[in-house]
Amino acid sequence: MNLQEIYEEKKRELAQIERALACAIHTDHDMLRKTSNHLLEAGGKRMRPVFVLLAGSFGSYEFEQLQKVAVALELIHMATLVHDDVIDNAETRRGRKTVKEEWDNRVAMYTGDYILACALKELTALGEYPVQERLATAMVRMCLGEIAQIEDLFSEELSLKKYLHRIKRKTALLMATSCQLGAMVSDVPPALERAVTAYGYYVGMAFQLTDDVLDFMGDEKTLGKPAGSDLEQGNVTLPVIYALNQGSEEVRQAIFTYLRSKGESGSLKEILDMIRTSGGIEYTMDLSRRYMDKAFSCLEKLPATAERESLQMIAEFILRRSY
Amino acid sequence: MNLQEIYEEKKRELAQIERALACAIHTDHDMLRKTSNHLLEAGGKRMRPVFVLLAGSFGSYEFEQLQKVAVALELIHMATLVHDDVIDNAETRRGRKTVKEEWDNRVAMYTGDYILACALKELTALGEYPVQERLATAMVRMCLGEIAQIEDLFSEELSLKKYLHRIKRKTALLMATSCQLGAMVSDVPPALERAVTAYGYYVGMAFQLTDDVLDFMGDEKTLGKPAGSDLEQGNVTLPVIYALNQGSEEVRQAIFTYLRSKGESGSLKEILDMIRTSGGIEYTMDLSRRYMDKAFSCLEKLPATAERESLQMIAEFILRRSY
């Protein structure tokens, strides 16, 4: 079973969410409609909406409410991506030009702000305070994570602990929140809500760890962006941290020099090769697998439904994914 | 009576709102605390909180609720300013270095996002759906305005109508919303709510018109930013539109050339002088006065309280202001 087949089961709901997303950001304004549609059409795995639907299935499933949560979450995710592309100076994402590249930074900034405002509108229409509160808190923490990441750019002293804290706020938090809000809206019993939220958290951690590995392994075609982008931007991920701590003296010196010069000294290509052969990739994948095992344990606390099966399949897909 | 005296009457409440603002964005994160405090300390007239308090006085005044609205509105305003400074590449605001100048664009972008997320959190704590909905809609429209403004940069074909629509979304909308939300939270009777909201709208229009004039008249010391910044950034305001339509052939040609070359051809200083003597300043101030007259008419529909007096004084201050 691949991701497509899992999604197939929720096909009708996901198509409806896709339309709701389009509606939520629809505007008569010409340029903004273009930038927003550009983002929508670039697609994405829509994992957050899927998590909302699947988590919601363990309670009294009310599609209307779940859809509002799913749309708000996906919009927040989209807005984050547009702003990230400005910061990372990214030219492509998912194989398409980014908004900042096709238009400019200005447009990307306000497109992001606009989508955030649309998300907020969706959320107010939902009218469930605890859900709103949870999401607002998650957003604050995500922003804190983004700021922390800026401070750690080109840092040669990043610890495993700090790295894990960073990817938690960057990715795991919104995935956990997606599961939790789906559960909250559907009045899923507390023990199950906790289990499915923890699942989202562990899957999110594993997802980001894999993502950080893929940046070393893929090429522009499979990744939709050039390989090695992270390090080029100064984003020090676990394979780099591992090589910095466990690599040979030569490897360590090369990476130190690269980071200290903020990427000005040393060949990125050679350093990427060094990191690839340092064992950091295997170490990171192993950690990803351990998070995934924790995610599987969480699933055992849920009733054995088709949706639990789907959550399991998604986790397996994430471990095996190459995009 | 000057602005300070008006504020004096609400001194205790405003001081409390100031503390609540600090609390709302407080974080243990070192850099973010610095950027946020930098923004807080830069101050500002806190007009939106004042409007909330004064509008709320025409109903059952509940400070706790009004404070939440005031904090959310001021935070949204602050976040907009940080993002605007990135877009305008502004080095100073209110006589202080901007966040993007003191730190960088990256930090400014995420500080803005963080403050928006904090505003959202404040809003969810308020728990009044119609208030939330109203503010979310205002935010969406403000973002649409920002995007429209980008499209109109260096435009030589901006009409009065389009200009007015722009400053409505840029400034008048949030001021009207401040008055309206204050009234809504305090259960002000519908007719009074409409009157005070319209007051906010007209005052906002007059405020922005005056602001656009001040950009031609002030200097860096009084403005807290260099004079002529608007035109330098390509932001075509009413004095420019007037000169383009009513100026001598020489003036029109000079401005056309400047705009078409996106500021590359022609001396900004000379063009500013031309606009100053074109009659555009007087025309804009006259329009500002007419909006203010409408604002005064709205006040006549409100009971003659000390707060109505304050609203009147604020309007008068705005017309006479030089900062």
What pLDDT was estimated at residue B224?
A: 66
Contact A124 B106 (CB under 8 A): no
A206 Cβ contact list (under 8 Å, min separation 6): A288, A289, A291, A292, A295, A315, A318, A319
What pLDDT was estimated at residue A323?
A: 53
Q: What is this model's ipTM?
A: 0.82
pLDDT, tens digit (0-9, with 9 covering 90-100), for A136-167: 889 888 888 888 888 888 898 889 999 999 99
Q: What is the CATH number of the domain that holds A55?
A: 1.10.600.10
Choose the weakest-confidence range: A126-140, A303-317, B17-31, B220-234.
B220-234
Structural tokens at position A263: 């990427």
Contact residues, chain B, for A144 at CB < 8 Å: 27, 29, 32, 114
Residue ranges of chain A whose CB lies within 8 Å of a chain B CB = 27, 29, 31-32, 83, 86-87, 105-107, 109-114, 116-118, 120-121, 123-125, 127, 129, 132-133, 136-137, 139-140, 142-144, 146-148, 150-151
The residue assigned the tokens 């809000």 is A181
Contact residues, chain B, for A118 at CB < 8 Å: 140
Yes or no: say if B267 and B189 are a contact pair by the CB < 8 Å rule.
Answer: no
pLDDT band at A221 (very low <50, low <70, confident <90, very high): low
Whole-number mean pLDDT of chain A? 89
Residue B109 pLDDT exceeds 90: no
Across the interface, which of B117, B142, B147 has its CB nearest the CB of A140?
B117
**Complete DSSP assignment for A218-241:** --HHHHSS-TTHHHHTT---HHHH
Strands B96-97 and A92-93 turn out to be: unpaired
Distance from the Cα of B5 to chain A's closest Cα (Å) equals 36
What pLDDT was estimated at residue A103?
A: 75
pLDDT band at A315 (very low <50, low <70, confident <90, very high): very high
Helices (H), chain B: 3-9, 11-24, 30-41, 47-56, 63-88, 99-102, 105-126, 129-151, 160-167, 173-185, 190-217, 220-223, 229-232, 238-246, 249-260, 268-276, 280-300, 306-320
Total domains present in chain A = 1
Nearest residue of chain A to residue B133 (CA atoms): A124
Distance from the Cα of A184 to chain B's closest Cα (Å) equals 16
What pLDDT was estimated at residue A254?
A: 92
Contact B106 A27 (CB under 8 A): no
Contact B29 A144 (CB under 8 A): yes
pLDDT, tens digit (0-9, with 9 covering 90-100), for B133-190: 899 889 888 888 888 888 888 898 889 999 999 999 999 999 999 999 999 999 999 9
Residue A219 structural domain: 3-320
Residue A5 pLDDT exceeds 80: no
Contact B107 A132 (CB under 8 A): no
Give the total residue count for chain B.
Answer: 323
Contact residues, chain B, for A107 at CB < 8 Å: 147, 150
pLDDT, tens digit (0-9, with 9 covering 90-100), for B185-206: 999 999 999 999 999 999 999 9
